[in-house]
């Protein structure tokens, strides 16, 4: 019986410490402060296992199809290049500011096409990776997967050729309304008292060394 009291007391103390830790704001959630090593390790293992389980039975189409690759180029340029970069671009405001750092697909293609499809479609919580399946049909998601598989080592000229041949940002119609809204917002900003001007040179801090979130 005494052992049960000790165990119960220990559990209660741990719960109290957890509440104090969570409610007290001790953990720094800032994106420019890396996770503790143990936190990063646990989150990586959890993410990898979760994606592998949910993508295990996805059937991958023929990703070498030229039309599929070309169709993904315009959407990638409009929706993905700001984070995952494009040939000739080493960093952007977005890629430098995100943590975990998005993978650079111009140097490292995804290893698992089924997992990549799942990630693009469903996104990753608290990583900055959107669930593009909310606005894109599966055929357009596969177009992105097919294009990303070709991106590593691609020259800037070849990239521009594919983007120009793709017909631009198109994946079923919803993109038109979003672009119109973004255009209107940009117009309002341009007419306002302040403009968006700053030095776009790479930052000198250590944040650029943040470990990539891999998918």
Helices 66-79, 138-151: axis angle to 10 degrees equals 90
Determine the pLDDT at residue 157: 97
Residue by residue, pLDDT tens for the chain (215 residues) are 778 888 888 999 999 999 998 899 988 889 999 988 998 999 999 999 999 999 999 999 999 999 999 999 999 999 999 999 999 999 999 999 999 899 999 998 899 999 999 999 999 998 999 999 999 999 999 999 999 999 999 999 999 999 999 988 887 755 555 554 544 444 444 444 444 454 444 444 444 444 555 55
The whole-angstrom separation of Cα 136 and Cα 13 is 48
The residue assigned the tokens 């996104």 is 123
The whole-angstrom separation of Cα 145 and Cα 139 is 10
Rounded to 5°, the CA angle 200-86-102 comes to 75
Q: Tokens for 155?
A: 């020259």
E-only strand ranges, the chain:
none
Determine the pLDDT at residue 142: 96
Radius of gyration of the chain (CA): 22
Determine the pLDDT at residue 206: 44
- Structural contact between residues 170 and 74, judged by C-beta atoms closer than 8 angstroms: yes
Considering the domain 33-57+65-171+208-215 in this protein, what is its CATH number? 1.10.760.10
The secondary structure of residue 130, as a DSSP letter, is -
pTM: 0.75
């Amino acid at each position: 019986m005494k052992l049960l009291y000790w165990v119960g007391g220990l559990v209660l103390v741990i719960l109290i410490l957890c509440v104090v830790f969570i409610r007290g704001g001790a953990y720094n959630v800032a994106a420019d402060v890396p996770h503790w090593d143990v936190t990063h390790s646990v989150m990586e293992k959890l993410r990898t296992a979760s994606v592998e389980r949910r993508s295990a039975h996805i059937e991958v189409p023929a990703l070498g199809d030229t039309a599929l690759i070309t169709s993904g180029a315009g959407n990638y340029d409009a929706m993905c290049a700001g984070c995952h970069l494009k040939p000739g671009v080493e960093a952007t405001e977005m890629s430098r500011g995100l943590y975990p750092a998005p993978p650079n697909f111009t140097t490292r293609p995804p290893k698992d096409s089924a997992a990549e499809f799942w990630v693009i479609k469903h996104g990753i919580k608290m990583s900055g990776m959107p669930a593009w399946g909310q606005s894109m049909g599966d055929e357009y998601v596969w177009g992105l997967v097919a294009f990303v598989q070709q991106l590593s080592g691609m020259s800037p000229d070849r990239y521009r050729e594919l983007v120009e041949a793709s017909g631009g940002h198109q994946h079923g119609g919803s993109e038109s309304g979003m672009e119109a809204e973004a255009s209107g917002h940009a117009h309002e900003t341009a007419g306002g008292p302040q403009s968006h001007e700053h030095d776009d040179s790479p930052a000198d801090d250590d944040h650029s060394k943040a470990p990539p979130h891999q998918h």
